[in-house]
Amino acid sequence: MKLLKSLLSALSLVTASPCLVPIAGALALLPTSALAEYKLQPGDTLEVSVTGIPDFRQRLLIGVDGEVNLPLVGEVRVSGLSVDEAQEMLAGGLANKQYRQATADGSEISHLVQVDQVVVSVAEYRPIYVFGDVTRPGEYVFRPSMTVRHAVAVAGGYSVAQMRVANPLVEAADFRSEYQALWAQFATEQARIWRLRTELGEDVEQVGNVPVPDALAARLKETATAHIEARLADSEKDKALLRKAVEETNRQLKLLAEKKKRDEEGNQADAGDYESVRELFQKGLAPTTRLAEARRAMLLSSTQLLDTIVQASNIERQRGEYIRQLNKIDSERQIAAWRDLQEAYMNLAQVSARLEGTAQKLALTGQSQATLLAVTDRPEIKVHRQREQGSEMLPGSEDLGLAPGDVVEVVLPKPDFTRAVASSPPAPAVAN
């Protein structure tokens, strides 16, 4: 009574003083018992027991037809009744019924059920359902005195809870570090493109206006220049070796040309000597041995001439291969440079896209500190409840009492990141 008087006194003060209106609002949000006028529905489970008969304890699920099957009574419709009304109906059905209890020795004990012995309670209520902006939407067990706050808690909390656990300051630091690393990668690819285009003979200016430390920019320029010089030096070294090989083959060909001339003269002389000896042999003026020696000398000089020709041909072919390789050095270097340039442009485009995404993440992270962590934005909660006259939607709060079968819909305020995205740094332009 004292508590009731103090509440009435507080309410009278509210009506008398406008400054105490928030207190009245807070009182209006006190949990209310949604079970006070609850009517049983299919899906609820009743427990029926009889005092003095321990064996008589039945769990009865209310079927879709609203009925339960009670031993000794049969089908009884309880849907739409309160627990007290179900108690009265089921107790009345069991009254004066004989229940035979089996004993350990195989005999039976007969019990006469009295109305005041029957106890009916709800063993398990229909589940509630939570959906919307919660971490784990789904079906959950209903407990008496359950509120929307309890339902959201068992559903894992609001869906942005994980975002709130992560410290936006730490995320911003991570994104800034990634942003700077991407800019360094962007500058590296830009320097690579400048080097490759310079190797291809294009007159391009050194890359600038990239937000990287001056020491890194200088190092990238120095490395690119050194790379160009090393590539050109290596190319010139290969060319010098091939030129030397070509000069060596030219010298060998010159010597073989002189040798070929001498071999041809010797072969012609041996051929002439063989013809003279053969004519003398035909006249009987030269022996057979002299003819055989002249023929052997002619064949030997012919073989030597042929070897010289083959050797000269091989050296000439080798010389052509050296010249081909010499001419191919520049073309192969250009082909490799074009291939690397295409890859560098592709990498630069990818880094540029990642830079744009990271810049927006940075902007969104800054926005989240003001939007996601704002305590003034409250979720919009709707409770859908099924009544006898049909479905009803209750605009609720976190302190609203729930009833079995309620469907809780949670909608959180949607952060507006449009301004954050618009204010994020633009993506870097890819070099032409």
Tens digit of each residue's pLDDT (9 = 90 or more) over 362-404: 777 765 555 544 444 578 899 998 876 778 888 878 888 888 9
Reported confidence tier of residue 423, pLDDT bands at 50, 70, 90: low
- Average pLDDT for the chain: 80
Q: Which residues contact 86 (CB under 8 A, 6 or more apart)?
A: 40, 46, 78, 120
Q: Which of 348, 403, 397, 400 is nearest to 34 (CA)?
A: 403
Of the given ranges (257-261, 291-295, 335-339, 364-368), which has the lowest mean pLDDT? 364-368
Give mean pLDDT, residues 225-247: 90
The answer to whether 99 and 114 are in contact (CB under 8 A) is no
Q: What percent of the chain has pLDDT over 90?
A: 29
What pLDDT, on the 0 to 100 scale, is given for residue 4? Answer: 39
End-to-end CA distance of the chain: give it in Å, rounded.
85
Give mean pLDDT, residues 146-150: 92
26 vs 145, more confident: 145
Strands 407-411 and 128-132: parallel
Backbone angles phi, psi at 42, to 5 degrees: -55, 135
Domain boundaries, the chain: 43-124, 129-158+379-411, 168-374
- 192-231 confidence digits (pLDDT tens): 888 888 888 888 776 667 888 888 888 888 888 898 888 8
Q: Provide the Cα torsion 5, 7, 13, 14; round to 10°.
A: -150
What pLDDT, on the 0 to 100 scale, is given for residue 36? Answer: 61
427 vs 179, more confident: 179
Task: Write the CATH number of the domain with boundaries 43-124.
Answer: 3.30.1950.10
Q: What is the length of the chain?
A: 432
What pLDDT, on the 0 to 100 scale, is given for residue 240? Answer: 92
Cα–Cα distances in angstroms (integers) from residue 366 to residues 15, 66, 360, 362, 416, in the given order:
44, 55, 10, 6, 12
Q: What percent of the chain has pLDDT over 70?
A: 81
346 vs 34, more confident: 346
Q: Which of 300, 292, 290 is nearest to 269 (CA)?
A: 300
What pLDDT, on the 0 to 100 scale, is given for residue 51? Answer: 87
- 38-83 confidence digits (pLDDT tens): 888 898 999 999 888 888 888 999 998 989 998 888 899 998 888 8
